[in-house]
Amino acid sequence: MAATAPTAQPDGGAGTPPSRRLGAALREFVRTGAPIRWLGRVGAVVPLLALALILILLIDRALPAIQFSGLKFLTGTTFNFGSQYGTPVKSQGIVHQPGEIFGALPEILGTLVTSAIALIIAVPVSIGAAMVIVERLPRQLASYVGLFLELLAGIPSVIVGLWGALTFGPFIAHDIAPVIADTLGKVPGLQGFFGGETGNGQGLLTSGLVLAVMIIPIIAATARDLIRGVPILPREGAVALGMSDWETARRVTLPWVGAGLIGAAVLGLARALGETIAVAMVCGVALGQLPTNLYASMVTIAANIVQNLNTAITDPLDIRAFAELALVLMVITLATNVLARLMVRRVSGTALPVGRGL
Amino acid sequence: MSIRFRTVCAAAALAPLALLAACGSSGSTAGSSASASAAPAASSGSGATTISETGSSLLFPLFGTWQAAYSTDVTDVTITSGSTGSGTGIADAATGTVTIGASDAYLSAAQTAQYKGLINIPLTVAAVMVNYNVPGIKAPLNLNGTVLAKIYLGKITNWNDKAIAALNPGVSLPNLKIITVHRADSSGSTFLFTSYLNAQDPADWPSSNIGTTITWPSAPGSLAETGSGGMVTGAGGAKGSIAYIGISYLAKTQAASLGEASLLNKGGKYTQATDASINAALATFSGSTPANGAQSLINTTAPTGYPIINYEYAIVKTTQPSASVAKALKAFLSWTITTGSDAKTLATVGFEPLPSNVLTIAQNEIKSIKS
């Protein structure tokens, strides 16, 4: 390259063969940094295009199902793939198998409620774990615990699901559910949700706990990095003012990273909402059933899609209903993300987090 | 610290490679396996044809036997198989993902209309058992479609219910809560079982609840399990459970100490799935099997016949991507219903061979495969 440069530089035209001129142009193109700029532009547009394309495609595929079910899709509680061996009938202008009804309320609620249970359990546990790792453990031990947390976050969900189905589910059914039913289930007003049949280890509680196990490492690892970033001065100041450890944590350390913690929780929530296989293995896949209590079998959108795709794919309308389910799931995750962003903005809006609440 | 850490990292990086190597050399015992390694290199050596199969977990144990036996006879064809459920079998064959989709259920008229050129070839005759985990009961319990429907509807919730006692005079039934177990995935066993419930008791079990995936009624404490193997594990682990499981898992259900119910047929008698009862039931249907092979064999009128039997189907496209695949597929399918269906092979899974007239129907269907 160095050898050709002097000859190409002076005239840059008439005498040189076309291949060399092309090479020079290419080098000039590279020298100006244009490829990086173009790569950047393409990189910036691709995610946006992908999102738009998925949305458009899903809406297009879901249209017949939207026309068929209308608002009942969101409010109905019966979900039936229809009689595959029946004679097709026509309703709402669509020819379909008899018995097909798509009411997705149970699985929409199932998706939201399991994620909520997971978050309620995971957030305090994770923040507590992060605080302990940063402030209490000796540095050597903390690094090992941290490594362990990151390894835990990397466990494939199918393995967590298997553990949930074979070990954790029966344990919950025999040792945890009866205890909750005997305590919280006896409190007036809570009997309906916490009392009653304690099930066999497949259902709402197991799904929520399995999800919690999966998102704790994610939230805890993020929270640990955030808390480690809190400067020592404000904390020393708090101690100097005579605050206890608990007060320092509550009034100085945690408010300092409040926005980040919400971000960490949202990371976990996003994982919980979209988690498919682990939940599919422990939820009981109870199509079209609103869970009667905390222990009842239920279903999430993702679990329904993964377990029943093979039935749906051989029926023209069923697969459209699945496209609509996918659309709903996508809207839910997008909505939670937007909501979380708004919350982060509100929390980080205050100028100086230190001393808030004093 | 850092050197030790590096060693650990290196070991961690090498572990997957070692695992991979181990997988390559191990036998084909897993749920989904290829018998490619079994083929000796002594054969022609030129490009081997691959036939892929997926679907019914009821047929899977037999298919595994076929796969092993066939690959010792014919070395230039590689067969892969998977136990994924009949719904997957139909879906993957329809989309062309696999060569053979195994299904306990025949194709519906709607499916044949949706996927032109997809046919179902009967390969063998299977049955679905109703199993229960009720300690202390020695003789098989008598059950019928009405009682089973009411159990799965959550209307009968205890083993000492009057309705069950009425079918089993003299048997002391325990005070034990019934746990219904059903398939979580898309399954041909579900199709056969719900077909039986509907045939016996259409009032409790409407035809809209027949299918490879159905909306199960809310029965408190019910379990959903994936695959026939999962049904055995689920039922075996829960006292008071009831489940429907393919006959090819008989040995496993016995190992898990599950009882097998005698089921009521349309002839008014209670029977268990045996060679004799399956063949007796088959005799009432096989004469009227249509040329496309699609027929329900549920709820026989023969007093000695077992009421939940079915043809196991190979779902294939009549037009194959290449002449070599078409040739290999035809040869393999013909082998399965003749040499592959000898008494000794089928006895291992409790299946029955096709009756001669259905064998002719299957052979004609195989002949229609082209490239």
Q: Please tell me the predicted confidence (pLDDT) of residue B367.
A: 94
**Whole-angstrom Cα distance, residue A256 to residue B346?**
71
Angle between helices A204-228 and A105-135 (to 10 degrees): 40
Count other C-beta atoms under 10 Å from residue A269's C-beta.
Answer: 26
Test mutation, A282, A304, A310, chain B, max B CBs within 10 A = A310
> B224 in contact with A at a CB cutoff of 8 Å?
yes
Answer for the pair A353, A258: CB distance below 8 angstroms, yes or no: yes
Q: Please tell me the predicted confidence (pLDDT) of residue A22.
A: 85
Test mutation, B97, B215, B242, B298, chain A, max A CBs within 10 A = B215
For residue A8, pLDDT over 50 is answered with: no
> B232 in contact with A at a CB cutoff of 8 Å?
no
Query: Does the beta-carbon distance from B211 to A81 stay under 8 Å?
Result: yes
**Whole-angstrom Cα distance, residue B328 to residue B76?**
9
Helix (H, G, I), strand (E, B) or coil at B319: strand
Neighbouring residues of B177: CB distance < 8 A, sequence distance ≥ 6? B157, B158, B159, B221, B240
Which has the closest alpha carbon to B62: B139, B123, B1, B3?
B123
Model confidence pLDDT, tens digit, residues A290-322: 888 899 889 999 999 988 888 888 788 999 999
For residue B74, pLDDT over 50 is answered with: yes
Which has the closest alpha carbon to B302: B279, B318, B321?
B279
> B179 in contact with A at a CB cutoff of 8 Å?
yes
Q: Please tell me the predicted confidence (pLDDT) of residue B27.
A: 36
For residue B343, pLDDT over 80 is answered with: yes
Region A57-62: mean pLDDT is 93
Containing H/E element for A80?
A: strand A79-80
Region A31-55: mean pLDDT is 89
Please list every residue in chain B whose beta carbon sits closer than 8 Å to the beta carbon of residue A197: 220-221
Residue-by-residue DSSP string for A201-243: S-SHHHHHHHHHHHHHHHHHHHHHHHHHTS-HHHHHHHHHTT-
Select the residue of A84, A285, A311 nearest B224 (Cβ to Cβ).
Answer: A285
Neighbouring residues of B247: CB distance < 8 A, sequence distance ≥ 6? B58, B126, B127, B128, B129, B273, B349, B350, B351
Query: Does the beta-carbon distance from A83 to B237 stay under 8 Å?
Result: no
**Whole-angstrom Cα distance, residue A290 to residue B194?**
23
Please list every residue in chain A whose beta carbon sits closer than 8 Å to the beta carbon of residue B115: 314
Residue ranges of E strands in chain B: 32-34, 49-55, 77-82, 100-103, 118-132, 142-143, 179-183, 223-225, 241-246, 259-260, 262-264, 270-271, 297-298, 308-317
pLDDT-derived band at B102 (thresholds 50, 70, 90) equals very high
- For residue B312, the distance in angstroms to the closest alpha carbon of chain A comes to 17
Model confidence pLDDT, tens digit, residues B318-333: 999 899 999 999 999 9
Mean pLDDT is lowest, of A295-309, A339-353, B105-119, B337-351, for A339-353
Residue-by-residue DSSP string for A90-133: EETTEEE-TT-EE--HHHHHHHHHHHHHHHHHHHHHHHHHHHHH
pLDDT-derived band at A1 (thresholds 50, 70, 90) equals very low
Model confidence pLDDT, tens digit, residues B153-197: 999 999 999 999 999 999 999 999 999 999 988 888 999 999 999
For residue B41, pLDDT over 60 is answered with: no
**Whole-angstrom Cα distance, residue A108 to residue A273?**
10
A124, with CB counted inside 10 A (0-12, 13-18, 19+), is exposed
pLDDT-derived band at B293 (thresholds 50, 70, 90) equals very high
Answer for the pair B210, B194: CB distance below 8 angstroms, yes or no: yes
> B303 in contact with A at a CB cutoff of 8 Å?
no
pTM for this prediction = 0.79
Mean confidence (pLDDT) of chain A: 86
Region B54-63: mean pLDDT is 90
Answer for the pair B308, B300: CB distance below 8 angstroms, yes or no: no
Query: Does the beta-carbon distance from A197 to B111 stay under 8 Å?
Result: no
Comparing alpha-carbon positions, the chain B residue that sits nearest to A288 is B215
Answer for the pair B244, B187: CB distance below 8 angstroms, yes or no: no
Answer for the pair B107, B212: CB distance below 8 angstroms, yes or no: no
Neighbouring residues of A234: CB distance < 8 A, sequence distance ≥ 6? A252, A256, A354
Please list every residue in chain A whose beta carbon sits closer than 8 Å to the beta carbon of residue B223: 200, 202, 284
Buried b (16+ CB within 10 A) or exposed e, B225-234: bbbbbbbbbb
Model confidence pLDDT, tens digit, residues A98-145: 888 999 999 999 999 999 999 999 999 999 999 999 988 898 999 898
Q: Please tell me the predicted confidence (pLDDT) of residue B36.
A: 39
Which has the closest alpha carbon to B219: B238, B232, B236?
B238
C-alpha A355 chain-centroid distance: 33
Q: Please tell me the predicted confidence (pLDDT) of residue B247.
A: 94
**Whole-angstrom Cα distance, residue B271 to residue A205?**
41
Count other C-beta atoms under 10 Å from residue B99's C-beta.
Answer: 26
Mean confidence (pLDDT) of chain B: 86
For residue B118, pLDDT over 50 is answered with: yes
A188, with CB counted inside 10 A (0-12, 13-18, 19+), is exposed
> B176 in contact with A at a CB cutoff of 8 Å?
no
Neighbouring residues of A145: CB distance < 8 A, sequence distance ≥ 6? A133, A137
Count other C-beta atoms under 10 Å from residue B113's C-beta.
Answer: 11
Structure tokens at A276: 């498919």
Query: Does the beta-carbon distance from B91 to A309 stay under 8 Å?
Result: yes
Neighbouring residues of B322: CB distance < 8 A, sequence distance ≥ 6? B371
Query: Does the beta-carbon distance from A85 to B87 stay under 8 Å?
Result: no
For residue B15, pLDDT over 70 is answered with: no
Query: Does the beta-carbon distance from A311 to B111 stay under 8 Å?
Result: no
What is the 3-state composition of chain A as percent helix, strand, coil, each rounded to the nearest 5? 70, 5, 25
Query: Does the beta-carbon distance from A310 to B88 stay under 8 Å?
Result: yes
Region B340-368: mean pLDDT is 93
**Whole-angstrom Cα distance, residue A278 to residue A298?**
14
Q: Please tell me the predicted confidence (pLDDT) of residue B272.
A: 95
Answer for the pair B316, B93: CB distance below 8 angstroms, yes or no: yes
Answer for the pair A65, A320: CB distance below 8 angstroms, yes or no: yes
Q: What single-letter amino acid sits at A60?
A: D
> B12 in contact with A at a CB cutoff of 8 Å?
no
Buried b (16+ CB within 10 A) or exposed e, A285-313: bbbbbebbbbbbbbbbbbbbbbbbbbbbb
Q: Please tell me the predicted confidence (pLDDT) of residue B31.
A: 38
**Whole-angstrom Cα distance, residue B219 to residue A172?**
19
Strands B297-298 and B270-271 turn out to be unpaired
pLDDT-derived band at B43 (thresholds 50, 70, 90) equals very low
